[in-house]
Structure 1
Amino acid sequence: MVRSETLSARLSLTFSCVGHSCSHLFAPIFYVVALSLEDDLSLSHGDVISLIVVGNILFGVAAPLAGWFGDKWSSTGMMSVFFLGTGAGMMLTGMASTPLMIGLALAVTGLFSSIYHPVGIAWLVRHAVNRGTALGINGVFGSFGPAIAVLGAGFLIQWQGWQAAFLLPGAIMVVTGGIFILLIKRGLILEATE
């Protein structure tokens, strides 16, 4: 039988890797979707691209506060907020119909996405048995995010329209967050301590 700390470390690596991929989805998806939005919203390319500026800024500037909450409150709690909040923000973007609504939804997405790097990586390091290997694996998954985003967005736009490019990944993130919370409640994912 696998010890609870070992299982928790494996699950932490798994969810940290998934989270790293997910944290890098929203901007590349948007840049692919932007090509469709120009016609749908009758806006210039520059006007469409400006819709993500606040979200991109929040992705960076909100990170120190997210890290502080991860340290002072709960790293697993903040990872739960990351999955649910980023997923909800992406779904709101997919449901938005005006430039203002899209910009606000992207801002929400950027805000919640800012949680991953300061919280998810610190949480992984606290749990990892072989830290260098775990960080290397995690880095690979970070690079998967943009690749998956671009290919997936192109497919989803062709299949169901630009909204699906945000709705499906957002829904997957919310479900992932629900599974993550369930595993915490069952004691399979532990709060990391030094």
Structure 2
Amino acid sequence: MEAELFPRARHQVAPGAVHVPDWLDPGCRRELLTACRAWARPPAGLRTVRTPGGGTMTARQVCLGRHWYPYGYARTAVDGDGAPVKPFPAWLGELGRRAVADALGPAAVAPAPYDIALINFYGADARMGMHRDADEDSDAPVVSLSLGDSCVFRFGNTATRAKPYTDVELRSGDLFVFGGASRLAYHGVPRVHPGTAPPALGLTGRLNLTLRVSGF
């Protein structure tokens, strides 16, 4: 993407919810992409998530630490190939703690380590409906890291999937952290902008890594 007249600035979208543009440097983006490609391979690799109503999510997913399925966690890919879930690496947890400290301040960093990651891959037509990250036993902030194509990230309120909400453009390398009063806010991805990934990254589509503390 061409240089902009005014650099994008960090922005508090709601109390406890902060967007930090370009938080990941280019080297870290490439390292994360390489890791995601390894994690996406079987066993317990990238899979299509099926909803309780019989539908499927358009974004595909792979998990680390614990396997998420609607609406709980397991140690194996219970709705996939049944293999044990891949381990959550300590370096990724440290990245999550640093992200929270940078976005919300050191006091917001949870004493418990980050131990779960949900990694979603969005193709050109993929979407994510409004939902809450409410299946953990911890209220530690959620860390969201974006790679590849830009998207519209819709950040709402804690009471309803409807308005009020704020639409934020997330680009490759951006960080979004939400905790405190916004930890259980509804959020989703109504649109991906195909072909907007930085060519040097070598990714077609969008990857989103969300890091969480399980509390289990």
Q: So what's the TM-score if we normalise by structure 1?
A: 0.28
Q: So what's the TM-score if we normalise by structure 2?
A: 0.26
Greater share of strand: 2
Greater share of helix: 1
- Rg larger in structure: 1
